[in-house]
């Protein structure tokens, strides 16, 4: 290869008779021996997670696989019916839709908490939480991870994930600050909102030391499982055309 045309990667190599990933033989050392969640963590962090880290990480993936009857699901089903490459198009439509709004909460919350902590591992959590909520309100911004359109009182995923992280000794500063925000935000905002599952997942992923800039990617990874389930459901019980006709018949067309 000519000088200057090398593109090194630390993830893996492939030859005619061997595939190596993370320094391991893919077929001999990884397949059937390493779970997908563990592998995803390993690929990003470049270190193999502990069993406790794997449990928390995979709990996050399961929590974020929730899809529900959302616009993302509808978009995926409609695209599955209409796009030339239907499965590819439907997955793309679902992932882009989820990434733009629903899954952004995971990344936004992780980044929000990470910036507020500014490297602190210990603090008066309630005092810090009051400060960051007041600052957000003064700036006219939402606090990521607060509120849910369905779970108005409590998102059932939140206490479970916090409990798992606590059991595994991985309840770090991001989760502690997030819980404090849940305790004190009513003093500033004047109303009580639930800590939602996407937000607690962002806090848990940040406590695992994963790059906060990539948290949306983990949410997309999890949501892909939900999207495939939605597409399989569309094959079993089609609703895409009914959704389309309902929308079309109720649309009011106006001049631009």
Q: Say which residue, 140 or 73, is predicted with more confidence.
A: 140
The reported pLDDT for the residue numbered 9 is 78
Q: Is the pLDDT of residue 184 over 90?
A: yes
DSSP 20: E
Angstrom distances, CA of residue 143 to CA of 196, 212, 219 = 11, 16, 19
Q: Which residue has the higher pLDDT, 205 or 241?
A: 205
Tell me the pLDDT tens digit for each residue of 212-236: 999 988 888 888 888 888 888 888 9
Once rounded to an integer, what is the mean pLDDT over residues 5-13? 82
Residue 77 pLDDT more than 60?
Answer: yes
For residue range 35-64, list pLDDT tens digits in order.
Answer: 999 999 999 999 999 999 999 999 999 999
Predicted confidence at residue 186, as pLDDT, reads: 98
What pLDDT is recorded for position 167?
Answer: 98
Element (DSSP H or E) covering residue 21: strand 19-21
């Amino acid at each position: 290869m000519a000088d200057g045309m090398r593109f090194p990667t630390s993830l893996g190599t492939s030859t005619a008779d061997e595939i190596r990933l993370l320094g391991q033989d893919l077929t001999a050392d990884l397949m059937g021996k390493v779970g997908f969640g563990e592998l995803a963590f390993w690929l990003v962090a470049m270190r193999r997670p502990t069993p406790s880290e794997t449990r928390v990480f995979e709990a996050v993936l399961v929590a974020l696989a929730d899809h529900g009857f959302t616009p993302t699901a509808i978009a995926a089903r409609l695209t599955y019916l209409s796009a030339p490459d239907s499965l590819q198009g439907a997955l793309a439509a679902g992932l882009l839709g989820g990434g733009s709004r629903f899954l952004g909460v995971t990344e936004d919350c992780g980044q929000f908490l990470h910036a507020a902590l500014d490297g602190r591992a210990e603090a008066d959590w309630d005092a810090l939480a009051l400060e960051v909520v007041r600052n957000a309100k003064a700036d006219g911004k939402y606090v990521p991870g607060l509120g849910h359109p369905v779970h108005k009182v409590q998102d059932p995923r939140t206490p479970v994930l916090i409990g798992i992280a606590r059991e595994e000794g991985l309840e770090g500063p991001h989760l502690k600050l997030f819980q404090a925000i849940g305790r004190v935000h009513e003093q500033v905002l004047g109303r009580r909102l639930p800590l939602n599952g996407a937000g607690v997942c962002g806090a848990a992923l940040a406590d695992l030391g994963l790059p906060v800039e990539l948290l949306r990617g983990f949410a997309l990874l999890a949501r892909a499982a939900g999207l495939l389930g939605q597409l399989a459901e569309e094959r079993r019980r089609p609703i895409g055309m009914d959704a389309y006709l309902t929308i079309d018949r109720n649309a009011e067309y106006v001049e631009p």
